Amino acid sequence: MERLILTKLDMPNIQNNIVDRTNLSVKLNRILKKKLTLMVAPAGYGKTTAICSWISSKQLLNDDIWLSLSEDENEPDKFWTYFFGAIERVHPSIASNIISLFKTNDYAQIKDGISLFINNSVANDSDVFIFLDDFQCITNKELHSQFNFLISHLSKSVHIIVLSRVVPEFFTPRMNLSSESQLIQAEDLKFTQEEVAIFFNKNLGVELSMEETIKINEITEGWIALIALIADIIKENRDWVNNYHFEHSILFEYLEKEMFDYLPETMKNFLMMTSIFDTFNGQMCDEILKMRHSKEIIRDINKKKLVSYSNEKGNCDYKYSQILLKFLRFKFDIYYPEVKNIMLTNASIWYEEKNDIQQAISYSLKANNAIRTVELLKKNIEDLMQDGLFYVVVNTVDRLPKGSVTACSYIAIMYSFARLFSGDFADYTTCLKLNGIELDAKACKEYENEIHCIEAIFFHNKGEIACSMEAINLIDKEQFNIPMMNGVTEFFEGNNYRLMGHLDKALDSFNVSLEKSKRFANIHLLLASINDLAYTNFLLGKLEKASRLYSEGIQIVKSHGKVKNNIVNMLYFGLANISFEMNNISQSLDFLLKSMEISAHRGDANFIMQGKLLYSKIMFLKGDQERCFEFIEEACLLAKNKRLKLILCRRISDLVRMLICLDKQPYAINLMDAFEVNILNDLNYQTESGHIAIADSLIHQGDHDKALDLLEKLELEAKKCNRVSSLLNILILEALANTKEDRKDRAILKLKEALRLAYGKSFCNTFLIYGQPVAEMLAVIKFKKESKESRFLSEYCYKLLKDYGQQPTKIKSSKEHTLLEMLTNRENEVLNYLCMGLSNAEIMDKMCVSINTVKKHIQNIFQKLEVENRVQALQATGRLKTIN
């Protein structure tokens, strides 16, 4: 067996953080509760310093396991030999004799060794912390697969902290969304302006002005290594910041003398030439720059840490840091000014040949080649729009020289269309202006219907539904000169009807848009129509039909060669939503992860926001209060523009319901104020969710009669258009309000009405999310079987209670009276903290005991109360205290 180099197992000696980094400390402290913490940032961002300082502050120095990796460990047998060797050095009981299994790279033997470690760690009483530095050196796919297996089955007492310059392959989107892992990135490690000021004050005794602090932060982009370099400069020259010009600065000289001058001429030329590209790779450099051996040059500059990986669009490309990029572009402009636009145009042509039109347009713009840019736009604008790349169309036209497209009404139309879809709610006349053109239906007869359609979409997005319908009434729906516009009018007409609450009319319009999308081979509109048909059926309570439609859309996606991701994530999100309602949480998570992965890749704020909202509901039902609230906050922060606020407002009743259950009523009230949810707002479908939220809040505040008055009006409106999804929430809240007023018979009647409405439609979590009070009423209905209808409702209640985690048998009062009495004083103390919503770590701090002691108390509580998780424990506690 190869001898271990012991210095690789020693934590580096570093200077403790001079700056108290409160925000970063919050994330680092979560290491104590996470199975995996991944810290990803380029060199010089202080990853190792931050972790070592944290280890020191937490007094883990005698228990931490450290391994500094290199390319030598990029083989499974060598990696796992070091990994378990490092563990055996500190915790021999859980890693002894495992290394002997790794005689070769045999996968089965390695997996046996990993499994043995996992099993050993389960029986271990204390927490184990394993720190892996420079994980970017590990690129072996088989090794990443093995590491994924380890993380997936790891005991909760083992905490692995990975430090890397790139996101490792084993770190999947599912892992990223897991409550058992966290990701710390460069943005978390960068110094803030305040931290820059503190660093200079404590390190140098220099008090920077606000202007100096801002300037240093802009120069360095929070990059700690550069801040340290500037600190050394300022020791010699206090006025350096005020006289700073990059091309004449000491930073420039530093890069020139300490880095650039030592490079061979071939590498210097390569660095300057490639600096005009946003990202680059070997093939691109060979073909555009007419160079040979680009891959070898990139490998050499990568060894010198002059480039970082860029994983955008799944490509293995490279890029420079911003400060190095400025330096190299400055040098390029000195040495090669005459070839810059030629090279950029060549890059545009290369990307066009690769069918990457977005990059082709981008480089054409950089080359100031307006004629080529307009031609690229004309040829590809409909494809870009069907790809959902509306911002590309908008940004391209906005950056063209004035007058470049004055004569092209077609581009003007598509530009206006794109601005609307990218969430631009500027004044309508401004929205339709383009380089001196003001689109007007009367003046532009050729595109009269298209202009009215754009007008209708504009008012729809702005929430002015009546104005949108007026514009639609002016359109001849069979006379469009731009093919992709056929069916769009009916699609937005359907959305208008849905927002007006006329769901049956909405279905008719969506069916027409579906038929036209097939006739004109518009795959984007086809999938959008299927998606909105499915969602409308969901609102009508037709969950099975909605699920079939979403699945049909997914099948089209799989069979179609060119699929638009912004529609695909809608379909996956729709299936996630329905699976959640049917209480198929595992399937819901699978679909949600697919939707979120696509949304994150495309930067789709709408579906990232909606995904986080759904994820909060999943966490709520799982009983993870902390994670639930985190996702609620993140979803609300994403609602920055008017369109996203409108979308969130239509779902605000779910948010308020969870916040009330999380005992965060003040936050719920502030949220309703922020989104202008007011009882004085008109009562219509668009404000319905807000009014339901108000009623829920009123019930919580004890104003039951006022809540019931509002709910009766909401019930009447929802029944007019058979809005089943809304009506269920209204009836359940009416039942709750009546229960609070001790009108139990009336409450049962209202809940029965909700059950009749939901029966046979697979609704589940609409009931479960209301918690214990509804469960108790369901239990009452479950035991009443006087009639045939009662028997059907009883069976439905049985299913709901089973999903709820209750045992739907007759109340065992004699036994339940004694359950709480079986708890010890310490267990009662832990139970009280659980009821307050404290995490295990917070309970540990309160009681001054170890985390394992807390876990043991919680397990005892679960056994004695005959429950399986926190949620059921809280529900049982409420029920037992009521009985007692």
CATH number at residue 82: 3.40.50.300
- Using the 8-state DSSP alphabet, how is residue 247 labeled? G
Q: What is the mean pLDDT of each run of 10 residues along the chain (884 residues)?
A: 82 72 85 92 81 81 83 90 91 81 71 89 86 92 92 91 88 79 86 81 75 77 74 75 64 75 88 93 91 85 67 65 84 91 95 93 94 93 80 87 74 82 57 56 79 88 88 93 90 92 93 93 87 92 92 86 69 93 88 84 80 91 86 87 82 92 90 89 86 94 93 91 89 93 90 89 85 82 69 78 50 45 78 72 78 85 78 64 41
Residue 361 falls inside a structural domain = no
> Is the entire prediction scored with pTM above 0.75?
no
Q: Are residues 227 and 146 in the same domain?
A: no
Residue that finishes a domain, picked among 151, 168, 189 = 189
Res 16: pLDDT: 58
- The region that residue 36 occupies, defined by phi over 0 for left and psi between -120 and 50 for alpha, beta otherwise, is beta
Choose among 489, 487, 468, 475: nearest CA to 447: 475
Alpha-carbon gap, residue 676 to 367, rounded angstroms = 47
Cβ atoms of residues 757 and 728 within 8 Å: yes
Res 702: pLDDT: 92
Residue 865 falls inside a structural domain = yes
Chain centroid offset of residue 43 CA = 26
Chain centroid offset of residue 688 CA = 27
Q: Are residues 184 and 46 in the same domain?
A: yes
Res 882: pLDDT: 38
Which residues have a Cβ under 8 Å from the Cβ of 470 and sit 6 or more positions away?
none
Overall number of domains in the chain: 3
Q: In this structure, what are the phi and psi dihedrals at residue 569, rounded to the nearest 5 degrees? A: -70, -30
Cβ atoms of residues 54 and 25 within 8 Å: yes
Res 825: pLDDT: 77
Q: Are residues 117 and 201 in the same domain?
A: no
Residue that finishes a domain, picked among 159, 189, 219 = 189
Q: Give, in degrees to the nearest 5, the angle at Cα 527 between 526 and 528.
A: 90
Alpha-carbon gap, residue 360 to 352, rounded angstroms = 5
Q: Are residues 140 and 78 in the same domain?
A: yes
Choose among 598, 684, 621: nearest CA to 649: 684
Residue that finishes a domain, picked among 147, 162, 189 = 189
Q: Are residues 12 and 99 in the same domain?
A: yes
Res 341: pLDDT: 94
Q: Are residues 156 and 232 in the same domain?
A: no
Longest dimension (CA), the chain: 93
Q: In this structure, what are the phi and psi dihedrals at residue 62, rounded to the nearest 5 degrees? A: -90, -15
- Domain housing 821: 814-883
Alpha-carbon distances, residue 300 vs 267, 271, 883 (angstroms)? 9, 11, 74
Q: Are residues 165 and 197 in the same domain?
A: no
Q: Are residues 55 and 200 in the same domain?
A: no
Q: Are residues 130 and 177 in the same domain?
A: yes
Res 565: pLDDT: 59
Chain centroid offset of residue 309 CA = 22
Radius of gyration of the chain from Cα atoms?
31
Residue 833 falls inside a structural domain = yes
Residue 763 falls inside a structural domain = no
Say which amino acid occupies 653: S
Residue 239 falls inside a structural domain = yes
Chain centroid offset of residue 116 CA = 35
Alpha-carbon gap, residue 176 to 172, rounded angstroms = 6
Q: In this structure, what are the phi and psi dihedrals at residue 140, rounded to the nearest 5 degrees? A: -60, 120
Residue 871 falls inside a structural domain = yes
Alpha-carbon gap, residue 177 to 624, rounded angstroms = 13
Residue 273 falls inside a structural domain = no
Structure tokens at 643: 């369109």
Alpha-carbon gap, residue 662 to 669, rounded angstroms = 13
Residue 512 falls inside a structural domain = no
Cβ atoms of residues 549 and 537 within 8 Å: yes
Q: Are residues 184 and 198 in the same domain?
A: no
- By DSSP bridging, strand 433-434 and strand 437-438 are antiparallel
Q: What is the CATH number of the domain that holds 819?
A: 1.10.10.10
Res 720: pLDDT: 86
Q: Are residues 34 and 178 in the same domain?
A: yes
Q: Are residues 45 and 108 in the same domain?
A: yes
Alpha-carbon gap, residue 536 to 514, rounded angstroms = 14
Instruction: Write out the DSSP string of 373-397.
Output: HHHHHHHHHHHHHHTT-HHHHHHHH
